[in-house]
Amino acid sequence: MKVLLVANSPNEAALEALLEAKLWLEERGLETETASSDDLVLGSVVYDDLVARIHSFELVCAFGGDGTLLRAARVVAGTKVPLLGFNYGNVGFLAGATSGVLAEALTAVLAGEVVLEQRVMLEATITYEDGSQATCSALNEVFVGRSNLGCNIIIDLSINNDHLFELRGDGAIVATATGSTAYALAAGGPLLTPGHRGLCVVPLSPHPFATPSIVTAPNDVTELVICPQSDQTAIAYVDGQQFNSGESAIASLAVKRADEGLTLVRYNTPDFYARLAALFDGAHHA
């Protein structure tokens, strides 16, 4: 068995946990490989190499916060390789194990005594004004919005080729159920149970303010077309990372549920609704 260990290297506690896991696994005859989440950026040499070899691993462990897990998720996207996150960050909503239970969690994984959660990922195809295209996947969300903070961007929103309305504001988020508790939630979007197979579309600072969020069905395709009259170039972020693959400006995005999802490992963390209760109860008391 070969295990990929990814850590947020600037986080000393996360890096120490990675080294502890490496020693624990190798003492039991397992092969390991390590990587820094700083190197797992789209298009980097390390990222491309790991994506090409990811089928040689049987488990990926991420040590850090949700950002570290999101970067590791892009590497395993479209495979059956399970991903276990150990929370050494500030939020850790996606982590499957808490800090301080490393040996216990790894023992449970090797014994098959963990919960495997199947999460939907999204696929976004970005078309540029010169006609070129780029495709990316995300566990949480894709955001498209204004690059100039001084004025609105105008986006035509369609679902399954049916034009719905024109969005005026900061932009829009298309999120998975997993991502509904992240940026989309902060923007006022709906909470979706992890079992929901569709996506949600959340306008950002829309004008008029009554522009609704939309929960889509599993096979829906959402298209966001940048209107030339907005006098504004668009910028795209994928799970918090700016996506720059085209030489010209972004013309449109087509977003749908990816054909393959992600397997998250959960060891000793509460289920979705228990986490929500803790999140909102904590916010209430804060």
- What is the tens place of the pLDDT at every residue in 271-284? 778 878 877 775 54
Give, for 223, the enclosing helix (H) or strand (E).
strand 221-226
The C-alpha atoms of residue 66 and residue 89 are separated, in whole angstroms, by: 7
**pLDDT at 148 (0 to 100):** 80
Residue-wise pLDDT tens digits, 178-211? 999 999 999 999 999 999 999 999 999 998 777 8
Start-to-end CA span in the chain (Å):
44
Q: Which of 66, 130, 170, 220 is catalytic?
A: 66
Peptide bond into 208 cis (omega under 30): yes
Give the rounded percent of residues in the chain with a pLDDT score beyond 70: 96
pTM of this prediction?
0.90
Residue-wise pLDDT tens digits, 217-272? 999 999 999 998 766 789 999 998 888 766 788 999 999 999 999 999 999 877 77
Mark whether 49 is an active-site residue: no
